[in-house]
Amino acid sequence: MSSSIFANMLPFILDWLNLLIRWAHMIVGIGWIGASFYFVALDFSLKQRKKMKDGVLGTAWEVHGGGFYHTEKFTVAPDDLPDDLIWYKWEAYLTWFTGIALMIVQFYWNAELYMIDRNILDIAPVVAIVYSVVSLTAGWFIYDALCKSDIGKNTPLLMGLVFLLILSASYFYTHVFSGRAALIHVGAFVGTIMAANVFAIIIPNQKKIVASLLKGEKPNAKYGKIGKQRSIHNTYLTLPVLVMMVSGHYPMITGHATPWLLVGLIILGGAFLRHLLIRHEVGDPLKGYAWTIPAIFVTLSIAMYLTMPETRLNTGKKLLSNAAIMTMVEQHCTTCHSASPSHEDFEDAPKGISLDNLQEIQKYNPLIMKFAIQSDYMPLGNETNMSEADRKALGDWLAAQH
Ligand code: HEC
């Protein structure tokens, strides 16, 4: 008895865990990105002024929340470095930890439903999870090896290869996982690289610098340089990652036939946008970075063009009867989308969408069109093996109801 109560409570508990972890992930993620944006802007806004202390590279005057702030950046470090430095590192670590926790409750826990799409690759849940863990780990080691090799000294070549690495990962993910899981994995792949950059490179190198300064020695300049390289990568990867993380809500992206191509465009568009924001934020004259505007426009336009809805409509076939449509929906949707779903993973209709009768199907007509006809997001993971012909027939019927 008690175990069945627990079984009934499990989806509810998982939903709450999901919400709380997602909330935490957003809070720390905003903290990380906020600090990162702030320091990039601060770096660019430093000015050399007449009255500056010895050893100061530049200063910035800022106003916020009713106070005035005067920040100095040292060329190397002040002579009397205090030992109570503020590090800004937990935002990055916690973003990664909460991200992985969310990956577990959202995807690993229900791998069958959320990670696997049999039309893409029919794998066992445990295999999907192994692919996920191994690929996320491998991504960091490959990236790190690239940066540390001789290639790392050639910035454009390195950037190109990192871009290719992410594209290859996207290609892999979109050929083993469902669209939604694939895009989230691209985000996690890049996010893991970014967090590991902070944990394994930027902070340890900074610690070495601080340690030699506290001992009164001159720090080795190479540590600063290595940290800076990784920090720049992180800066330009921030915005594309955000798009991957919310892409699950957009079947035009997750349901696309070649999502890895979209990933490439998102990375380029996001990096151009980041460049535009940085240069604008620091008050550089527009003509120095005006090229970013058409570049963003072109990348996003190509993405829009590529994601135009599939024309599964107007097949010219005879419309199915209402009864035939009801049977089809019962076969493909109502195991989950019912006031009382028979699917073991659902207590209530997902997203409150129940499709138990024709009125309800009518009510959700535009949504069904979007998620099952113009994209393959539904049925989830195509668990019910809905055929192309069925989608077309349902699409024609839905379109004829207006
Ligand atoms: C295996 C269970 C399952 C089956 C079968 C299924 N769905 Fe869903 N559906 C879900 C879940 C879970 C969600 C919520 C997904 C999310 O959170 O993004 C959902 C969401 C939706 C949404 C709302 C999407 C949104 O983000 O607003 C629509 C519309 C939908 N389903 C339609 C259908 C139709 C039409 C069918 C049948 C052709 C179908 N579903 C079959 C589980 C299922």
Spacing, Cα 317 to ligand 1 middle (Å): 26
Half-sphere exposure of residue 78: CA atoms within 13 angstroms, side-chain side: 10
Half-sphere exposure of residue 313: CA atoms within 13 angstroms, side-chain side: 15
Mean pLDDT of the chain: 91
Measuring CA to CA, how many Å separate 84 from each of 69, 76, 207, 398?
Answer: 19, 17, 13, 65
d(CA 117, CA 107): 13
Mutation to probe ligand 1, out of 109, 245, 327, 378 (largest number of atoms < 8 A from CB): 378
Q: Which atom of ligand 1 is nearest to the CA of 335?
A: 5
Residue 221 reports pLDDT greater than 70: yes
Spacing, Cα 259 to ligand 1 middle (Å): 20
Share of the chain above pLDDT 70, in %: 98
Pocket lining: 367 vs ligand 1, CB cutoff 6 Å = yes
d(CA 220, CA 21): 40
Pocket lining: 350 vs ligand 1, CB cutoff 6 Å = yes
123: left (phi over 0), alpha (psi -120 to 50) or beta: beta
pLDDT at 3: 64
Half-sphere exposure of residue 162: CA atoms within 13 angstroms, side-chain side: 30
Spacing, Cα 245 to ligand 1 middle (Å): 19
Pocket lining: 384 vs ligand 1, CB cutoff 6 Å = yes
Spacing, Cα 367 to ligand 1 middle (Å): 9
Query: Closest by alpha carbon to 373, among 322, 328, 310, 330?
Result: 310
Burial of 319 (0-12, 13-18, 19+ CB in 10 A): middle
Cβ atoms of 181 and 114 within 8 Å: the answer is yes
d(CA 402, CA 389): 21
Q: Which atom of ligand 1 is nearest to the CA of 367?
A: 29
Residue 148 reports pLDDT greater than 50: yes
Pocket lining: 368 vs ligand 1, CB cutoff 6 Å = yes
Residue 215 reports pLDDT greater than 90: no
Using only C-alpha atoms, the chain has a radius of gyration, in whole angstroms, of 26
In degrees, rounded to 5, the angle at the alpha carbon of residue 27 between the alpha carbons of residues 23 and 30 is: 135
Pocket lining: 272 vs ligand 1, CB cutoff 6 Å = no
Query: Would you place residue 80 in the very low, low, confident or very high pLDDT band (cuts 50, 70, 90)?
Result: confident
Spacing, Cα 371 to ligand 1 middle (Å): 8
Tokens representing residue 150 in the block: 């001789």
pLDDT at 2: 56
Pocket lining: 380 vs ligand 1, CB cutoff 6 Å = yes
Mutation to probe ligand 1, out of 102, 336, 373, 386 (largest number of atoms < 8 A from CB): 336
Span of 99-108, 267-276, 348-357, 367-376 with lowest mean pLDDT: 367-376
pLDDT at 83: 81
pLDDT at 379: 92
Share of the chain above pLDDT 90, in %: 68
Q: Which atom of ligand 1 is nearest to the CA of 379?
A: 41
Half-sphere exposure of residue 2: CA atoms within 13 angstroms, side-chain side: 0
pLDDT at 213: 86
Residue 1 reports pLDDT greater than 50: no
Q: Which residue has the higher pLDDT, 196 or 250?
A: 196
Q: Which residue has the higher pLDDT, 193 or 312?
A: 193
